[in-house]
Structure 1
Amino acid sequence: MRWKRIELFDLINYVLIVLACICMLYPFINVAAVSLSSYTAFVANPMLIWPKDFTLGAYEEILSHPILWKSYLNTIIVTVSGVIIGAFLYLITAYPLSKSHLRGRRLFMLLIVFTMLFNGGLIPNFYLMRSLGLLDTLAALILPALFSGFSLILMKNFMESLPEELEEAARIDGASEPYILFRVVFPLSMPIVATLGLFAAVGYWNNFFNGVVYIRSVEKWPLMLFLREIIEGSKMMEISTGGNAAELGAGTVPTETLKYATLMIVMLPILCVYPFLQKYFVKGLMLGSVKG
C-alpha cells in the first residue's frame, strides 16, 4: 500500500513539474513562432507555438538596421568589462574580509550592509556622474552596477568555507598573499565567481534605466535602448495606420513580428551562455550562503 502512495505522489510531482515547464517555456516558444510567421497567421492565431507561413522578413529588417550592431558592440563591451572588473573587485575585497583576524572586520561588514539598505538615489547619482565627466560614456553604464554588497557577502561566505590548511601550506612554501589569492583561492572559488558573473552579465545585458538616464548619443546606445526604439517606432506605426496592417507598404514588416524578432535577437546571447554556467548555480549559491 505504501508503494502506491509514493508512486501517486511522484506522479503528481511529475505532472506539476511538466506544467511549470510548459508555463515557463510557452512565452519563449510563442515569441519565436510569431517572429517567424506572417502577420496574417499572427492575427488568425496570436497564441502560435509553431511558425505558420514561414518568413524571415522581420529578421532581415532588424539585422539591416544601422544601429543594431553598434548597440550590440556597446552592450558586449559594457557586459564583459563590468563582469571582469567586478569579479576582480569582489576577489580582492572578499578575501581579506573572510579572515577573522582582520581588524575592523565587523565595521567594514556593517558599512557594506548599510549600502544594501540605503543609497543616494537617482538625482545624486546623476550629479555624481556629471561631476566625474562620465555622462554619455559607456563608463556610466558600467560603474553604477559594478559592485554589490549582496554579491560581496556571498563571495566572502564562500571563501570562509574553503579549507585554511591549503593557504597555510602555501605560506609554508613561501607564497605571498597575492599568490595565494590568485593561484589557490581563486581557482577554488570558480563556482561562486561564475555564479556572480552570470548574475552581473544578465544585469548589464538587460540594463535599460541607466542607458535612459546617462546616455544621449545614439552611437552609444546599449541594446535595450535599441529595443525601446524599435518598440516605440512600432507603436507610432500602429497609431499612424490605426492598427490596420493593410495600410502598410508592400515591403514594410508588420509591427508585431518586428517586435518579436527584436526580442529574440536580444535574448539569444544570454540563452546561449546560460547552459554553460548553470552547473555552478546551485553549488555557488549553496556554499556561498552557509555562513552568515
Structure 2
Amino acid sequence: MKQHQSVVYIKSSELRQKKSLTGSRIFQFFNYIFLIFIVIITLYPMYFVIVASVSDPDELQRHTGLLLAPLGNVTMSAYKLVFQNAMIGRGYLNTIFILVVGVSINLIMTIAGAYFLSLKNIMFKKNIMVFIIFTMYFSGGMIPNYLNIRDLHLLDSIWSLIIPGAISTTNMIIMRTSFVSVPDSLLEAAKIDGANHLQILSKIMLPLVKATLAVMVLYYGVGHWNSWFSASIYLRTPSKFPLQLVLRNILLANQSATMTGGVGMDEMANLAELIKYALIIVSTVPILIIYPFLQKFFTKGVMIGALKE
C-alpha cells in the first residue's frame, strides 16, 4: 500500500514538473516575442534614418509608409555634401573640445567635492550638504545666469558652455555615496602608512569606484554632446557653434539648401531632405560607438552610487 502511494506521489510530482516546465517554456516564448517586438520598435527609427540617408532623393520624396530598404540606387551624395560643409567640421572640432575639456573639469570638480563630503568628522558637513542640495531644486533662472555669464566676460566664448556647468549636484551625490561605500578599514590602514588625502583618493578610492567613474563620464559626455540651448544663448560667432547647434540651425531653420549649391531647385529640395537624415547619423554615431564600452559599468556604477550610508 505504501509502495503504491509512493509511486502515485512520484508520478504526480513528475506530472507537476512537466506542467511547470511547459508553462515556463510558453512564458519564455511569449516573453521573447514581446522583447523582439520592443527591439524592432526601438531600432526602426534609427534604421529608417540610415536607409533614408542613402536612398535616391526623388524616390524618397515620393515614398510613403514604412521604409525597409534603400529606394533606387544607393547614393552617398548627402554625406559628401555634409562633410564638404565647413560648419560641420568646425562644429565637430568645437564639440570635441567641449567634450574633452568639459568632462575633464566635470570629473575633477565632482571627485573633489564628493571626496570632501565623504570624509568623517568634517565640521558643518550637514549644513554644506543642505546648501548643495538646495541648488538641485532652486536656481536663479535663465536671465540671472545670462547676466552672470556676461559679467564674467564669457559671452561668445566656448568656456561659457564649460565653466557654468562644471559640476552636477546629482552626479556629485552619486559619487559621494560610492566613496562612502569604501570600507573604512582601507582608509585607516592607508593613514597609518602615512598616506595623505591625495594618495588615498588616487590609489584607493578611485580604483574602487571605476564603475561609477565610467557612469560619470557617460552622464557628462552625453550632456555635453547633446547640448545646444546654452550655445544658442551665449554664442554669437558661427565658427564657435558646437555640432548640435549647427545641426539645429540646418534642421529647424531650413538651411539645408545652403549646402546644395550648384543644383536645380527640385533636386536641391530633395537633397536637403537627405542631408537632414545624414546629419542625424553623423551627429549620433560617435555616441553610439562609445556607449557599448561604458554600458557594462552603467548598472553597477549607478547601483553603487545609490547605496545609503
Over residues 5-58 of structure 1, what are the superposed CA-to-partner deviations in whole Å (9 max), with x where a residue is unaligned? 222222222122111111111111110100011123323245323323200000
Of 101, 104, 126, the match for 1:81: 101
> CA–CA distance in 2 between the matches of 1:56 and 1:95?
50
> CA–CA distance in 1 between the matches of 2:30 and 2:164?
45
- Structure 1 residue runs of 5 or longer lacking an equivalent are 238-244
Of 38, 46, 55, the match for 1:20: 38
> CA–CA distance in 1 between the matches of 2:117 and 2:182?
14
Of 57, 63, 66, the match for 1:47: 66
Of 29, 32, 38, the match for 1:11: 29
TM-score using structure 2 length: 0.87
**Distance 1:41-1:93 versus aligned 2 partners, 3 A rule:** same
Deviation at 1:62, TM superposition (A): 0.6
**Distance 1:226-1:236 versus aligned 2 partners, 3 A rule:** closer
> CA–CA distance in 2 between the matches of 1:5 and 1:75?
52
Structure of higher CA gyration radius: 2
Opposite residue 225 of structure 2, the aligned amino acid is W
| Aligned length in residues | 285
Residue of structure 1 equivalent to 2:295: 278
Of 81, 94, 107, the match for 1:61: 81
The alignment yields a C-alpha RMSD, in angstroms, of: 2.0
SS of corresponding position for 2:162: helix
In the alignment, does 2:287 pair up with 1:267? Answer: no
Alignment check: 8 A CA contact 1:208 1:224 kept: yes
Query: Sequence identity, in percent?
Result: 35
Residue of structure 2 equivalent to 1:241: none
> CA–CA distance in 2 between the matches of 1:15 and 1:128?
54
- Structure 2 residue runs of 5 or longer lacking an equivalent are 1-18, 258-262
Alignment check: 8 A CA contact 2:249 2:255 kept: no
In the alignment, does 2:307 pair up with 1:290? Answer: yes
Residue of structure 2 equivalent to 1:37: 55
Residue of structure 2 equivalent to 1:101: 121
> CA–CA distance in 2 between the matches of 1:264 and 1:49?
17
TM-score using structure 1 length: 0.92
Deviation at 1:68, TM superposition (A): 1.1
